[in-house]
Amino acid sequence: MAEHPTKKHNIWLLAQSNVAVKNIAEKLADILVSRDFHFDWHEHLYTKIERNVIRSDAFGDHVVGSERLLLGSTVILCTLSMLSSQRLATSGYTRLVPVETVIVDEASQIELGDYLPLLGRFDRSIKKLVFIGDDKQLAPYGQDDLGDMPSIFELQHLRQDALFLDVQYRMPKPIGTFISKHVYGSRLKTSHSINSRRSCLLVDVSHGREARSGKSWVVSLIEVIRRRMLTELALQNNAEADAIVVIARKFHAQGKTYRVITPYDAQRNALERKLKDAKLPWENKCFNVDSFQGNEEDYVLISVVRSNNVGFLNNLRRTNVMLSRCKRAMVVCTSRAFMEGKARSSLLGKLAKEWPDGWVSWRDMLQGGSHGVHPLTSLP
């Protein structure tokens, strides 16, 4: 896309969260982001796009200052709440770049009421409104508990004219075929160069046990209320965390690019600590499932945590997100007995059943396999 096209097109790219905006921003131009998010939590995520970031504390009170910061840009990224704020209007950004074409990414995560400020304020200027999302992935926050918080994809009069993008290019073919069969009614096709079933490896951490950890109570009250997951935030599995460190060390030595995802914040915190203690890269390595939607990586390590109660695994949408992030291969640390028992009806349980040749024991992972060949060396 030319930096200064002959015909001026004003485009606002929106998402619900700063993380989702960051994912788009790494490939595109200017972004408006809150100062607190930038400094207090995820500053290191913005290194690639630092020169294009306009923090909220840099907003001026007049158009001239804002125009100098924009440098003629006509494509702006921000959260839905930021665009709806009076501060943005006062700074003159919506006058300099009129809100004409609006593209909302991950729209399935946004509750209908959250669009009212946008539509109420810019109803006269909006010429085109595009919603992009996947209603088989994360739902609006709170829907899982309340059941009455529909997203834009639950509106039948809009859904009937929606376009289904039926080819995925991220996941290796065996994983993509499994996800298509069990989540998308076999409608999702795969275009990928990797056809090996070794793209999915399941590590039987049979001695792992889910346990409560009080350390997750440091999560802010607002975050706890937003997720409605107070009882689950504090779950962790130390044996699985140790397994992840062993695998991460091997991947690091091989020069593989990888990320670690897990359903629970306490486990994510434990994983970061253990990676740091092991002198392995830990910043921007560990994520909970919700914050990793929209992300991808060559190799994805998954710590399931659960060993007794199904919990998170009952949620098809969130499990779909967890299992669909890898570009080359994924390694799932869990208990085989649990997968073949209480969790057998879950999406992950079905994957474990369809991948009997994908299991390796924790002992083989530590000792290098029964024939001296480490299981990780066979990954694509």
Domains of the chain: 11-163 (3.40.50.300), 173-378 (3.40.50.300)
Q: What is the mean pLDDT of residues 107-133?
A: 92
pTM for the complete prediction?
0.82
CA dist., res. 172 & res. 327, Å (int)? 6
DSSP for 299-346 reads EEEEE---SS--GGGG-HHHHHHHHT-EEEEEEEEE-HHHHHTTTTTS
CA dist., res. 361 & res. 202, Å (int)? 9
Is residue 280 predicted with pLDDT exceeding 90? Answer: yes
Both tokens assigned to 4: 């200064």
| Nearest alpha-carbon partner for 334 in 292, 376, 303 | 303
Q: What are the tens digits of pLDDT across the range 313-346?
A: 999 999 999 999 999 999 999 999 999 999 999 9
| Nearest alpha-carbon partner for 326 in 136, 172, 135, 183 | 172
Question: Which residue is listed with tokens 């096209």?
Answer: 5
Q: What are the tens digits of pLDDT across the range 267-279?
A: 999 999 999 999 9
Amino acid (1-letter code) at residue 59: F
Percent of the chain scoring above 90 in pLDDT: 53
Q: Is the dihedral of CA 305, 310, 312, 314 positive or negative?
A: positive
Q: What is the mean pLDDT of residues 74-101?
A: 87
